[in-house]
Chain A
Amino acid sequence: MAVASTRKVLPGFGLSLGFTLAYLSLVVLVPLSAVFLKTASLTLDAFWQAVAAPRVVASYKLTFGASLLAAAINTVFGLMLAWSLVRYTFPGKRIVDALVDLPFALPTAVAGIALTALYAKNGWLGQYLEPLGIKVAFTPLGVLVALVFIGLPFVVRTVQPVLEDLDTEIEEAAASLGAGRWQTVMRVVLPTLVPALLTGFALAFARAVGEYGSVIFIAGNLPMVSEITPLIIITKLEQYDYAGATAVASVMLVASFVLLLIINGLQSWTDRRAARAS
């Protein structure tokens, strides 16, 4: 921590903070405030009609439902993948570890068309799933697949460092006190991972809720069935219904801000846990 006597020794405070605030305001804060100002210009009735129309409500259910499910799937498999990367030796580990971040680096539109090609009726995976009665492309299941793709790194990358820093002494103590391996993992190791798992879950969920590019190709975008909320916003914009689009956007923004608060809380919990452990 800085002591009072060292304040403003270094140069550039006014310039760097001034530029930061100006750029932040111009690029982010002022444009974002437009959403709420535009929404505020609507009457309550008009706002309600825009955000609670059956087609919009159906899109909330799909967007939030599929995002929750995808985040849950990613929590389970992300934990296993993080566990494999930290605890096991296996060939090709370096490549697997680097490719886990692929969804961060691959443009969403590319992911979207690739997933659609895989799961379409005649695709590599679709041709085997379709005879079993499992339709993925152009159904809500397709939305889920895309959201699993983009959410995976969040869980792996939050759990992995916590698992790495975990002191082996705790497990040694458990083992020497007579606990079986299963007991040790379930009652000693997993509880310490809970904050990281929840954080990863929340990050994956928050990302999935706003996702657009990877979903729209595979979703089929049938109103009431496989239409996500971001697409509703785009459709309204294309119909020049700026007010309606903005109203729906304000609902999504509020949801995102609530999630952001929850994530910040979870992360400081994770950090406190880590600080106590070390």
Chain B
Amino acid sequence: MAAIATTGALHSGAARFEANTATRDPQWVKGVVLALSLGFFATFLLLPLVAVFVEAFRRGWAVYIAALVEPDAVSAIRLTLLTAAIAVPLNLVFGIAAAWAITKFDFRGKQLLITFIDLPFSVSPVIAGLIYMLVFGAQGWLGPWLSEHDIKVIFAVPGIVLATIFVTFPFVARELIPLMQTQGRDEEEAALVLGASGWQMFRKVTLPNIKWAVLYGVILCNARAMGEFGAVSVVSGHIRGQTNTMPLHVEILYNEYQFAAAFAVASLLALLALVTLVIKAYVEWKAPALHNQIEAP
């Protein structure tokens, strides 16, 4: 679990280094380092982002809108929203429960439990899809039973939701665990001593303490849930209008050389990414103490 950046001090902080002769780099060094790092930033991060929007509008507004209101696109958008609407709340409840158990109580094997919770981040998305094939697929453990009862998981919506839950599994928990660890248990214990019920304690003491971290975890979880490609691609079966999420729809359009349409749908996802980053920056500004945790791969 990683690094902690408090961005609050960041923007005011640099002047402090530049005013101090002992920590100031020569002007030409600053110029060279800035040119290299910002050039790299512009080439590898900014340019792809700009390219998405330029390509999306290359054929004009009419083509852009047409690509978004076309029935297959609409059903892909709907499925993406549905998937996130199931996966994110489930992982939110899990994240709060896991953080509560881990940070408010002592028990053996806690460190192992934390490692297990992080596990989905170190598994390739393709493998995340594969494991559900092995459990629910036609040749999988439950495959024969499922087909006997006419339940479809793989190449259907349940499989897509499951794969999405897997890849977004740790997001909320890993935001909450370090924060609630530093907050300790005193406030909750005081609330109980003063006669609060368990639910009152949670709602009036715990929740206000963790609300920014919860929001932070939820927006990152949501961005990944809506954007997941590899895991969903394995279990979806790519049935147009039925099991295509937005990222899969982008792939299909792209492979059919409908570039403007592919980038139009992609631009919606890029917009989602930008909104996510704006909310993230806002949360970091509102709660500078909140640890900016890196997601492990």
Contact A109 B126 (CB under 8 A): no
19 additional A-B residue pairs with CB within 8 Å, beyond A105-B272, A152-B45, A249-B127: A7-B106, A11-B198, A23-B97, A77-B40, A88-B34, A96-B38, A105-B273, A106-B49, A107-B227, A107-B273, A114-B52, A124-B51, A168-B23, A206-B122, A209-B124, A212-B124, A212-B230, A213-B125, A217-B254
| Interfacial chain A residues near B132, Cβ < 8 Å | 31
CB distance from A80 to the nearest CB of B (A): 4
| Interfacial chain A residues near B175, Cβ < 8 Å | none
Q: What would be 10 A-B contacts, judged by CB atoms less than 8 Å apart?
A: A10-B105, A34-B135, A35-B130, A110-B273, A113-B266, A118-B51, A208-B297, A212-B124, A253-B127, A256-B122
A222 within 8 Å of B (CB atoms): no
Q: Give a binary string over A205-222; 1 marks a CB under 8 Å from any B CB, 0 the rest.
A: 011111111000100000
A38 within 8 Å of B (CB atoms): yes
Cα A231 to Cα B250 in complex, Å, equals 18
A100 within 8 Å of B (CB atoms): yes
CB distance from A219 to the nearest CB of B (A): 14
Majority secondary structure, B binding face: helix
Cα A124 to Cα B52 in complex, Å, equals 12
Majority secondary structure, A binding face: helix
Q: How many A-B residue pairs have CB under 8 A?
A: 356
Contact A242 B134 (CB under 8 A): yes
Q: Give a binary string over A24-40; 1 marks a CB under 8 Å from any B CB, 0 the rest.
A: 10011111101100100
Cα A21 to Cα B13 in complex, Å, equals 43
B73 within 8 Å of A (CB atoms): no
Contact A86 B48 (CB under 8 A): no
Q: Which B residues, 1 to 57, have Cβ-Cβ distances below 8 Å to chain A?
A: 1-7, 9-11, 13-18, 20-26, 29-30, 33-34, 36-38, 40-41, 43-49, 51-52, 55
B117 within 8 Å of A (CB atoms): yes
Partner of B228, one of A107, A171, A181, A263: A107
Contact B220 A10 (CB under 8 A): no
Contact A181 B25 (CB under 8 A): yes
Partner of A10, one of B21, B117, B192: B192
Q: How large is the interface on B (under 10, 10 to 19, 20 to 34, 35 or more residues)?
A: 35 or more
B75 within 8 Å of A (CB atoms): no
Contact B21 A175 (CB under 8 A): yes
Q: What residue in chain B is nearest A31 (Cβ atoms)?
A: B131
| Interfacial chain A residues near B123, Cβ < 8 Å | 32, 210, 253, 256
Contact A114 B40 (CB under 8 A): no
Q: Give a binary string over A94-113; 1 marks a CB under 8 Å from any B CB, 0 the rest.
A: 10111111111111111101
| Interfacial chain A residues near B202, Cβ < 8 Å | 12
Q: Flag the segment in B59-67, B207-215, B276-284 that touches A.
A: B276-284
Contact A171 B23 (CB under 8 A): yes
Contact A28 B48 (CB under 8 A): no
Cα A152 to Cα B294 in complex, Å, equals 12
CB distance from A152 to the nearest CB of B (A): 6
Contact A110 B227 (CB under 8 A): yes
Q: Which B residues, 196 to 243, have Cβ-Cβ distances below 8 Å to chain A?
A: 198, 201-202, 220, 223, 226-230, 233-234
Q: Which A residues, 128 to 167, have Cβ-Cβ distances below 8 Å to chain B?
A: 145, 148-149, 152-154, 157-158, 160-162, 164
